[in-house]
Structure 1
């Protein structure tokens, strides 16, 4: 795969506050990449720079071999799908999708709009108003509106965060299908680890305006490089290693009920097929998940536990 979007030494700032500092990132053609991280990490700011909504303080943005760093958004051939859908409430579904095509005076407008609606499975909704649609359907209209413009890159800014759990799962599948069928390059901004893991070919985990780690979903999930990456990907017990770096355990890897260590149960909650416990120990706070079929522990109870070395992930650093 070739590099299709290239960010070189990109520094982005709001007034005197640097949000992204000398970031370098290459995105392949046809790739679905997730910019993942907590609020304020720089992921949305990076997306805005690709879109042309924010001018870099320094560095460059290239799309399909063109330097677009100083180009306005309208000339970048980039599509945007927002968290809020951003549909025109007074226009029909057809007219919402047709809006950009009309501005460009595109020929065969009806055919292109209906093809776009077919791509997202909404041909029968062409005459409806946005208020008559579910949240998932409105997001599909927003997606179709961008796709009919045939952008080189489609940017999606937290597009699923306004949907309920069932619709989020439905739209994940829809985005994967559309990306697979169209082959379009997608950049997906999210703070949700599950969304990134489910959707992305590669995940760019960001922290304080820089890339903390980049890799496949499996690499990010199973082999975090730092305490921050491990914590963000669900390793809730992180301890310093004996020779530097650190060790991390997911809650399900902690053995509760027997072992060489002692702790006090400070929190207990039912979570369907498992119970989630919080222990205080000589190591600090330990999180443990136990199947509901096993022994139940009560808050205040002293309990033995183990942190099996073979279940730990080694971290290069824990800062």
Structure 2
């Protein structure tokens, strides 16, 4: 992988409080990478440093072979899409998208703006004021405004978190389509593992400012290496084995109704196609999910279950 974006031993701090210590990773040209993790893990801080919105205490940032560590944001050739859209409410869609080009005194502004607006499917809304648009449409305007300046890297800060479930899915498709058509390198910050799995070529999972694990969506989903990563990707049942190694199962991997173990139903949640049961057992509390069309259990029922070893993931310490 070429180091199109390279962070080398980057340390980021707020005053005397270090948020990201000694962080190093690289992103290839045209790659779509998710910085994933819970609130306070350092993902947004890292993105702000790449954008030039905060200066590192130490380390370096390179984009396309150029050291941008001490450059102003406007000199880095990056685009930034904010969670809050950050649009000008008194300007039309066209004027919002054109703003950056006018500030740069660029040429062919009308042609470039119209092309950017078309690329996000808003050609029929060119003259509309942004407060008159839906949340999904405003996010598209924000995307077009960032893309029109032809950035080398597009940074997206929790870009879909303000949208409802239907619009989030719609915008996931828009982002994937834009990335495929333009080939722009994208880095997006999210706390939502399902969003990262759906969008990213590669996921960088962070905790306390440190990279816990990175890999493709398939690698992260199927082979988490630590308890933290396993829990983040849905392996909610984690138990120590007789050999001293922790093993993890997803709720859907637990066999309910038969098996060598017994527990008592503590509670149930209905999720459409599946019912998820919380079960008190000698091993501790576990979660088991079964298809909703199968016989159901009620609170207090005794139930037998199995933890199939073929469905377990062995975890490293940490």
TM-score category (smaller protein): over 0.9
* C-alpha distance in 2 between matches for 1:213 and 1:138: 33
Displacement after TM superposition at 1:58 (Å): 1.0
Alignment of 1:287-298 (within 5 A): 287-298=287-298
Q: Which residue of 1 aligns with 2:257?
A: 257
* C-alpha distance in 2 between matches for 1:242 and 1:213: 26
* C-alpha distance in 1 between matches for 2:274 and 2:140: 35
Q: TM-score, normalised by structure 2?
A: 0.98
* 3-state secondary structure, aligned to 2:163: coil
* 3-state secondary structure, aligned to 1:91: coil
Displacement after TM superposition at 1:244 (Å): 3.4
* C-alpha distance in 1 between matches for 2:189 and 2:35: 5
* C-alpha distance in 2 between matches for 1:183 and 1:270: 41
Q: Aligned pair count?
A: 318
* C-alpha distance in 2 between matches for 1:22 and 1:243: 34
Give the 4+ runs in structure 1 shifted more than 6 A. none
Q: Which residue of 1 aligns with 2:117?
A: 117
Structure 1: state its 5+ residue gaps. none
Displacement after TM superposition at 1:271 (Å): 1.1
Structure 2: state its 5+ residue gaps. none
Q: Which residue of 1 aligns with 2:56?
A: 56
* C-alpha distance in 1 between matches for 2:244 and 2:67: 43
* C-alpha distance in 2 between matches for 1:291 and 1:25: 41
Displacement after TM superposition at 1:243 (Å): 2.6
User: Aligned in 2, Cα 1:31/1:235: closer, same or farther, shift over 3 Å?
Assistant: same
Deviations 1:112-144 (A, max 9, x none): 110111111111211000112111111000000
CA RMSD of aligned residues (A): 0.9
* C-alpha distance in 2 between matches for 1:315 and 1:191: 22
* 3-state secondary structure, aligned to 1:3: coil
Alignment of 1:155-194 (within 5 A): 155-194=155-194
Comparing 287-296 and 212-221, the one that deviates more: 287-296
Query: Are 2:274 and 1:274 aligned?
Result: yes
Q: Which residue of 1 aligns with 2:127?
A: 127
Deviations 1:193-230 (A, max 9, x none): 11100110000011110000000000000000000000
Q: TM-score, normalised by structure 1?
A: 0.98
Q: Which residue of 2 aligns with 1:213?
A: 213
Q: Which residue of 2 aligns with 1:105?
A: 105
